[in-house]
Amino acid sequence: MSLERNAGTPLTTDWFDRVQINRPAAERRAASLLARRSVKKEHQAAWLVNAIRCMDLTTLAGDDTEDRVARLCAKARRPLADSIAEGLGLTEMPKTGAVCVYPTMVGAAKRALSNSGIPVASVATGFPAGLMPLDLRLAEIRYAVDQGADEIDIVITRAHVFQGEWNALYDEIAAMREACGEAHMKAILATGDLVTLTNVYHASMVAMQAGADFIKTSTGKEGVNATIPVSLTMVRALRDYGERTGVKIGFKPAGGMKTGKDAISWQVLMKEEMGQDWLQPDLFRFGASSMLADIERQLEHYLTGRYAASHRHAIA
């Protein structure tokens, strides 16, 4: 990432403590965003290629191995078949925004991505629940950074949000930010656990004040992961933070997004709410694994008029 880091601010609860989010209004706005903009043909293809550039290609499975990570990294380097890239007239093969793995797989990912310019992101802090003593969560961040992680995706203690313990939440995230050192920090709010959109807005604002460079919806392990109304709430929070501080904060939806249609929907949200800058990987990422396969199928359909069998595309 090339943007200046978010230095954070002192905890300032009057930026958010009176804010209440109306869920029906957020849902209506989300529905209208998707209904108003229809992207077809070459424009759809361009948006799908851009989605690849903004993708954190992810494997967070209990049976991950170094070989699986190496295969994922190979796909990150060359996410499209050569015939598709040539058919689209791309002057160079697009690369994914990052590869995201567990801390123990960071070293393997760094080796596989050497000289590619693709960052390695690592989840940490007791992912996905985050229910570990803080000193152990900080140690996990430092381990991932020592292994070479360029970005760290941390998880918050949800109980602090439920109980309105904003000082505790702020101090926890600020300590994590310090442990990240030069690595950019994405704060996962686990929005499916936070119950209300008001909680989502408040937690977003505290995370940014504590120094998060990105705010991220989900771990992908909750019952409900990224949704457009939740994403709209978080995007409005980072816009409000930017208006107060002049700092641009990134956004990462993750979990449950599987199709090219999903990729376009979230890009429409970012363009309508935040503008063109937030369609670049410095400020926008998808947390995804299976989405890439559908994007490749959609692009081949655009070129040939036929959907390829899934076995024709390399496994991510």
Which of 95, 193, 252, 294 is catalytic? The answer is: 252
Reading the block at residue 310, the tokens are 């899934």
Reading the block at residue 251, the tokens are 């956004």
Q: SS3 for 184?
A: strand
Which of 56, 150, 153, 294 is catalytic? The answer is: 153
Minimal CA–CA distance to 200: which of 158, 170, 248? 158
Judge whether 252 counts as a catalytic residue.
yes
Distance CA 315, CA 292 (A): 10
Do 120 and 102 contact (CB within 8 A), yes or no?
A: no
Residues in CB range of 53: below 8 A, 6 or more apart: 94, 95, 96, 97, 280, 281
The DSSP call for residue 311 is G
**120 bridge partner residues:** 99
219-256 burial code (b ≥16 CB/10 A, e <16): bbebeebbbbbbbbbbbbbbbbbeeebebbbbbbbbbb
Which of 95, 110, 216, 248 is catalytic? The answer is: 216
Judge whether 153 counts as a catalytic residue.
yes
Single-letter code of the amino acid located at 37: R
Q: For the CA atoms of the chain, what is the radius of gyration?
A: 19
> Which residues are part of the catalytic machinery?
153, 216, 252
